Amino acid sequence: MAAKKPAQRKAPAKKTPAKAPAAKAGAPKEELLRFYRDMLLIRRFEEKAGQLYGMGLIAGFCHLYIGQEAVVVGVQAALEDGDQVITGYRDHGHMLACGMTANGVMAELTGRIGGYSRGKGGSMHMFSREKQFFGGHGIVGAQVPIGTGLAFADLYKNNGKVCATYFGDGAANQGQVYESFNMAKLWKLPVIYIIENNQYAMGTSVRRASSETHLHKRGASFGIPGEEVDGMDVLAVRDSAERARKHALSEGPIILEMKTYRYRGHSMSDPAKYRTREEVDEIRARQDPIEMVRKRLFDAKYASEDDLKKIDREIKEIVNESAEFAKESPEPDPAELYTDVLVEERA
Amino acid sequence: MPVEVLMPALSPTMEEGTLAKWLVKEGDAVKSGDVIAEIETDKATMEVEAVEEGVVGKLLVAAGTEGVKVNSPIALLLEEGEDAGALDGAAQKATPPQPSPEGEGEDADARKPATAETSPPPPAGEGRGGGRPASKPASDPEIPAGTDMVPTTVRDALRDAMAEEMRRDETVFVMGEEVAEYQGAYKVTRNLLQEFGPRRVVDTPITEHGFAGLGVGAAFGGLKPVVEFMTFNFAMQAIDHLINSAAKTLYMSGGQMGCPIVFRGPNGAASRVGAQHSQDYSAWYAQVPGLKVIAPWDAADAKGLLKAAIRDPNPVIFLEHELIYGETFDVPAVDDWVLPIGKAKVRREGSDVTITAHSRMVGFALKAAEILAEEGIEAEVIDLRTLRPLDTETIIESVKKTNRIVCAEEGWGRCGIGAEIAAVVTAEAFDYLDAPPARVHQEDVPLPYAANLEALSLPGVDDIVKAAKAVCYRE
Ligand SMILES: Cc1ncc(C[n+]2csc(CCOP(=O)(O)OP(=O)(O)O)c2C)c(N)n1
Ligand SMILES: [Mg+2]
């Protein structure tokens, strides 16, 4: 309750936190290059979405993932085909990481028929059964019991799959999260809870909203282990997710608290008075997840400046094409208004 | 006097049972907790314990008797110092029940609840003793001639209402997500933290269910919480406390536990935010006894009714609208602008058709009335302002004059506010109607994101015009 000066959090600790073993010294060239590419795709995609929003082509809420790219890309590397993913409304990066197309996501942002929800869902509500991406949820915390239920179905079917359930530091205070934890542990459900601790829930810093700020400890009273992970380091993320996946299959739920940071405002209109410009700049300059991989690629002599420029150009092309597609794709037919309310044969 | 041992009920629905077996005989001494008999129904068997100390004076019902009515005496216990002579009077008074052969020939009256004649008169006082409260809501206060009218946004009017009530009453505090340091997600609580400090303007975690319940507890504890939901969509996380805790406890406590709390925030569709962020909950809350539900349109009403809501000793659901926060209206510069809850306002007089609306739809209804006027149809526009209690009197009066009604609302039509009004008008002014009541509402689908579909789904000025013409049998 005590209101103090607007939060001025220190940058997250630079060193890899003690609990998680340091990232494996390296990664094979191909994998590092793929990480670079996947993270860059998310960043450029989000920048483009920001532009289209500014042009009035995207409306409503639009929560960008810029700064947090290493989290989904690292986790996805540890998942296997058929594993499920579910998250909240800051979901564009997750969808791209799951292999959903930039075109389909961007066209949903513009509310067109070519979008994943045929224009009916928008930024916060997108899904792909094919890619096992279960949304896309606008209500903070609601995805946590649903993700737990996906894991319940996995165990029920004994299919050897796990559900990666993402939520924010703010969502971590919702009661339903703890109801889920209890059931997940009780029934040993194969679920990985990934808390994307980007330090803020809208304008509220973790310190101002949470009595226990080490969110990975939040499972303690349920006997669910937790790990704090440097969420800016894609290799540390991947390693932790690999351990977590094994754990989820043999022991049940586990919590990964990804220490990360969002560079942009909460949504598109955010006065951002709750943190300083310097704080943001400092993290961008010292811990940027993409720069980190770039440096690793250079250091290991896996890639030259030119190699990466080539990737940059490819990405730019994909993103530009998605923007074109999203502009050209027509609005849904008025008859779409009445479809999909209940399961019925499509005419 | 000997103590009567009564036939107990095994369940809330049990009316009679079988006295299977006596475990004591006359003359036995028993103490509290001793098992004295076994009874059974078709569903269960249960032991009957003595609840007093004494000597079994008389067994009134023989073992094996079926159809023994719940609460009828089955035995008499003699208390210390009493002798068998005491049984005589008592035995007559407590006539043992005659077991019915099929166990079914029951006395219908025995189970009837007390009737009006037999129940004690209700305590004096407003709103007690069944039926609707008799008192009529007061009318709006007169605005003295020469009063300054101050152009104010709805947003600031709401803020002013909270600030004034907080100055006036130390127990009023504001709580919610981002209400303090961020100054409100929609800036409705701007500067409250600066004036009243963090003790009274409280930022919460994202924990709607928790802080709504906490607010109810604080209200039971003597405070007057104003709980902001960032939007009412998120109140779905908390709706259990709004209904089960806030609305019902006064009743369940026989009038002891009043819950003076206001739950407020934007309700209804914003712009292009999709289905989970765009629902109108007017009808949901308006259905619940124990709540008051307010949904104002202009700034003066927003201020006067929020002040009234904060002072009201009941839980009030105060539904605002994001898309009118920024609109400016005149607010009278009087010292204490408080409006009556439960009173609709005739926004425009007319003789041809009545249009009811609340919240943002009032603006649309007034625009529709202008268009209709150009075509020679004079519409009377009623701003409902309060949805519970609903000012049906104003509506009925109007319909008696216009003989036609269009009920407009932003939310879904099924079981909606318009459905309720149509039912009331049909029941109470049937003979005055020249056309069936018409309803204007959102399409019966979750709100889509796509711009064209969203526009098709939400009701607007044209829909009201069309409906009004239809009930006037024009075009
Ligand atoms: C139940 C509910 N309450 C409030 C909101 C409004 N809201 C949307 S995002 C958000 C902040 C969530 O922060 P966090 O969980 O940290 O996720 P982040 O935005 O940082 O990714 C809030 C309060 C909501 N969508 N749902
Ligand atoms: Mg956050």
Which of A180-189, B184-193, B246-255, B416-425 has the lowest average pLDDT? Answer: B246-255
Please report the pLDDT score of residue A27 as a whole number: 80
**Percent of chain B having pLDDT more than 70?**
90
Closest residue by Cα to atom 7, ligand 1, is A140
At CA A182, angle to CA A177 and CA A188, rounded to 5?
115
Residue of chain A whose Cα is closest to the Cα of B271 = A60
Q: What is the mean pLDDT of residues A254-264?
A: 97
Residues in chain B: 475
Answer for the pair B206, A177: CB distance below 8 angstroms, yes or no. Answer: no
CA B438 vs CA B209, B330, B359, B360, B387: distances in Å: 37, 32, 19, 19, 18
Q: Which of B180, B205, B275 sits opposite A173 (nearest CB)?
A: B205
Q: Judge whether residue A1 has pLDDT over 60.
A: no
Please report the pLDDT score of residue B475 as a whole number: 77
Residue B209 forms contact with A (CB below 8 Å): yes
Residue A341 forms contact with B (CB below 8 Å): yes
Put simply, the answer to whether A208 touches B181 (Cβ < 8 Å) is: yes
Which residues on neighbouring strands pair with residue B354, listed in sequence order? B380, B405
> Is B277 noted as a catalytic residue in this protein?
yes
Please report the pLDDT score of residue A21 as a whole number: 52
Q: Looking at this protein, which amino acid is placed at residue A114?
A: G
B412/chain A closest Cα distance in angstroms: 14
Which residues on neighbouring strands pair with residue B265, listed in sequence order? B319
Domains of chain A plus CATH, in order, are 29-324 (3.40.50.970)
Distance CA B7, CA B10 (A): 10
Q: Are strands B45-49 and B35-40 parallel, antiparallel or unpaired?
A: antiparallel
Q: Which residues of A73-103 are buried (b: 16+ CB within 10 A; e: fewer)?
A: bbbbbbbeeebbbbbbbbbbbbbbbbebbbb
Q: Which pair of structure tokens corresponds to residue B374?
A: 């150009």
Which of A315-319, B108-112, B409-413 has the lowest average pLDDT? Answer: B108-112
Phi/psi of residue B457, nearest 5 degrees: -80, -40
B269 burial class (0-12, 13-18, 19+ CB within 10 angstroms)? buried
Residue B192 forms contact with A (CB below 8 Å): no
Q: Which residues, 6+ apart, have CB-to-CB distance to B471 below 8 Å?
A: B353, B404, B405, B406, B434, B435, B436, B437, B438
A178-209 confidence digits (pLDDT tens): 999 999 999 999 999 999 999 999 999 999 99
Please report the pLDDT score of residue B133 as a whole number: 53
**DSSP 8-state symbol, A128:** B
Please report the pLDDT score of residue A346 as a whole number: 59
Between A161 and B129, whose confidence is greater? A161
Distance CA B449, CA B273 (A): 6
Answer for the pair A205, A7: CB distance below 8 angstroms, yes or no. Answer: yes
Q: Which pair of structure tokens corresponds to residue A99?
A: 């292999």
Please report the pLDDT score of residue B51 as a whole number: 74
Which residues on neighbouring strands pair with residue A196, listed in sequence order? A168, A258
Q: What is the mean pLDDT of residues B239-251?
A: 96
**What SS3 state is found at B299?**
helix
Q: Among B208, B322, B380, B410, which one carries the catalytic annotation?
A: B208
What CA dihedral angle connects A335, B368, B412 and B397, to 10 degrees? Answer: -150
Distance CA B379, CA B366 (A): 9
Between A13 and B454, whose confidence is greater? B454
> Which band of pLDDT confidence, cut at 50, 70 and 90, is reported for residue A344?
confident
Q: Which residues of A touch B198 (CB under 8 A)?
A: 1-3
Residue B277 forms contact with A (CB below 8 Å): yes
Between A328 and B104, whose confidence is greater? A328
Cis omega (within 30 of 0) for bond into B340:
no
| Crossing angle between the packed helical segments A234-250 and A29-54, to the nearest 10 degrees | 100
CA A195 vs CA A51, A192, A224, A254, B126: distances in Å: 28, 10, 14, 11, 53
Q: What is the mean pLDDT of residues A303-315?
A: 97
Residue of chain A whose Cα is closest to the Cα of B193 = A3
What's the gap in Å between A153 CA and the centre of ligand 1?
27
Answer for the pair A252, A212: CB distance below 8 angstroms, yes or no. Answer: no
Q: Among B165, B177, B277, B321, which one carries the catalytic annotation?
A: B277
Q: Which residues, 6+ apart, have CB-to-CB distance to B368 below 8 Å?
A: B355, B379, B461, B462, B464, B465, B468
Ligand nearest to the CA of A87: 1
Between B369 and B17, whose confidence is greater? B369
Q: Which of residues 38-57 of A touch B (CB under 8 A)?
A: none
Put simply, the answer to whether A209 touches B206 (Cβ < 8 Å) is: yes
Count other C-beta atoms under 10 Å from residue B369's C-beta: 24
Q: Judge whether residue A159 has pLDDT over 80.
A: yes
Is residue B270 within 6 Å of ligand 1 at its C-beta? no
Please report the pLDDT score of residue A104 as a whole number: 98
Pairs of residues, one from chain A and one from chain B, whose beta carbons lie less than 8 Å apart: 141
Distance CA B174, CA B192 (A): 9
A6-48 confidence digits (pLDDT tens): 444 444 444 444 455 545 556 899 999 999 999 999 999 999 9
Residues in chain A: 347
| Crossing angle between the packed helical segments B461-471 and B361-374, to the nearest 10 degrees | 50
Q: Which of B198, B199, B456 sits opposite A334 (nearest CB)?
A: B456
Q: Which pair of structure tokens corresponds to residue B20?
A: 């299977």
> Is B370 noted as a catalytic residue in this protein?
no
Which of B23-27, B73-77, B115-119, B262-266 has the lowest average pLDDT? Answer: B115-119
What's the gap in Å between A208 CA and the centre of ligand 2?
12
| Crossing angle between the packed helical segments A175-186 and B208-220, to the nearest 10 degrees | 120
Q: Which residues of B touch A119 (CB under 8 A)?
A: 448-450, 453
**What does the mean pLDDT of chain A come to?**
92
B197/chain A closest Cα distance in angstroms: 8
A104-143 confidence digits (pLDDT tens): 999 999 999 999 999 999 999 999 999 999 999 999 999 9
Residue B207 forms contact with A (CB below 8 Å): yes
Q: Which residues of A touch B191 (CB under 8 A)?
A: none
Domains of chain B plus CATH, in order, are 3-93 (2.40.50.100), 149-332 (3.40.50.970), 345-471 (3.40.50.920)
The closest alpha carbon to A243, from A14, A85, A24, belongs to A24
Put simply, the answer to whether A173 touches B207 (Cβ < 8 Å) is: yes
Please report the pLDDT score of residue B71 as a whole number: 87
Q: Judge whether residue B136 has pLDDT over 80.
A: no
- Interface pTM (ipTM) of the complex? 0.82
> Which band of pLDDT confidence, cut at 50, 70 and 90, is reported for residue B121?
very low
Please report the pLDDT score of residue A3 as a whole number: 41
**What does the mean pLDDT of chain B come to?**
90
Which of B80-94, B268-282, B407-421 has the lowest average pLDDT? Answer: B80-94
Please report the pLDDT score of residue A135 as a whole number: 94
- What ranges make up the beta strands (E) of B218-298? 224-228, 262-266, 292-294
Count other C-beta atoms under 10 Å from residue A169's C-beta: 26
Q: What is the mean pLDDT of residues A212-241?
A: 98
Q: What is the mean pLDDT of residues B267-271?
A: 95
Which of A277-291, B98-112, B323-337 has the lowest average pLDDT? Answer: B98-112
> Which band of pLDDT confidence, cut at 50, 70 and 90, is reported for residue B89?
low
A138/chain B closest Cα distance in angstroms: 6
Distance CA B308, CA A302 (A): 70
Answer for the pair A274, A7: CB distance below 8 angstroms, yes or no. Answer: yes
Which of A61-75, A83-97, B43-57 has the lowest average pLDDT? Answer: B43-57
Q: Judge whether residue A5 has pLDDT over 90.
A: no
Is residue A231 within 6 Å of ligand 1 at its C-beta? no
DSSP for A281-313, please give it.
HHHHHHH-HHHHHHHHHHHTTS--HHHHHHHHH
**Percent of chain B having pLDDT more than 90?**
76
Q: What is the mean pLDDT of residues B287-308?
A: 98
Which residues on neighbouring strands pair with residue B21, listed in sequence order? B38
Count other C-beta atoms under 10 Å from residue B336's C-beta: 10
Is residue A95 within 6 Å of ligand 1 at its C-beta? no
Please report the pLDDT score of residue B138 as a whole number: 79
Please report the pLDDT score of residue B93 as a whole number: 52
Q: Looking at this protein, which amino acid is placed at residue A255?
A: I
Taken in order A189, A192, A197, A200, is the CA torsion positive or negative? negative
Residue A130 forms contact with B (CB below 8 Å): no
